[in-house]
Amino acid sequence: MDLDLQDKSVIVTGGASNIGRAIVLGFAAEGAKITIADLDTAAGEKVAALALKQGASAARVVKTDVTDLASVQNLFREANDQHGGIHCLVNNVGWDKLMFFTQTTPDLWQKLIAINYVGVLNCTKTALEYMTPAGGGSILSISSDASRQGEAREAVYGGLKAAVNSFMKTIAKENGRYNIRCNCVCPGVTVPDSVDETSENSMWKEKNSMFTDEQFAAIAKTLPLKRIGKPSDVANAVVFLSSQQAAGFITGQVLSASGGYSMIG
């Protein structure tokens, strides 16, 4: 199916690493013009070069702190000026530190809130300012299956991702009249193939930083599809939902791409 993403202007936050990297390459295969928003510009440049090799019409990196509205506004100005508008935004930036809630601190809460929620607010608000007068667009936020049924050691993160789900549904209702579609994709445990696919800021930067090989194997056994997720599994869902051609009547939805970890109708 032709997804009609050729030359469309796409912003991917956190596009230098793991899921974000795979999303960039997924759009590249469709010939999109891609702006990678990341703090790690060195890693972002490597992904941009690979995206160009894989078919992107254009690919560039803008150093961006999604928790800072001024930085986000600069990102959108540059993407708009260079790529002729903003057709798709993927709110991919996310971060967590696995801890039981009783071990967490208010400082950690604030960091998690800023990265996982305020960043989505900043980027979505700015995207709407461009998409509304332009006649439409797609906003896609990466959530988590921890938002749908809870997960030990992810109390704050899961709660924030649940907030993202609700926020995106509301934005979908408020902005459908402007032909702006808003959806979420919820990964389960999704692991890059190697540390080379991560950036300096990635929580997957160090091998076994999140789970041991034995724990990964145990997790895989619990899933109906019997394997851990790959970044491309999530990217495929994102690219599909971002396509007006393929998913133009889909908005306000929360889709799990998690090997069946959650099955919520």
How does pLDDT run across 20-74, given as a tens digit for each residue? 999 999 999 999 999 999 999 999 999 999 999 999 999 999 999 999 999 999 9
User: CB of 189 within 8 A of CB of 223?
Assistant: no
251 found inside a domain: yes
Range of the domain at 98: 9-257
Domain count for the chain, please give it: 1
pLDDT band for 213, please (50, 70, 90 cuts).
confident
22 found inside a domain: yes
CATH, residue 45: 3.40.50.720
> Choosing from 117, 130, 157, 261, which is the catalytic residue?
157
1 found inside a domain: no
Tokens of 245: 């051609």
2 found inside a domain: no
User: CB of 230 within 8 A of CB of 191?
Assistant: yes
Single-letter residue type at 129: E
* Residues with Cβ within 8 Å of residue 15, at least 6 apart in sequence: 21, 23, 24, 34, 36, 37, 38, 44, 47, 90, 92
157 is catalytic: yes
236 found inside a domain: yes
* Distance in angstroms (rounded) separating the CA atoms of residues 56 and 25: 8
Helix H or strand E segment including 140: strand 137-142
* CA-angle at 68, arms to 103 and 11, nearest 5°: 105
pTM comes to 0.94
Residue 92: CB atoms within 10 Å: 31
264 found inside a domain: no
Q: 158-192 pLDDT, tens per residue?
A: 999 999 999 999 999 999 999 999 999 999 998 88
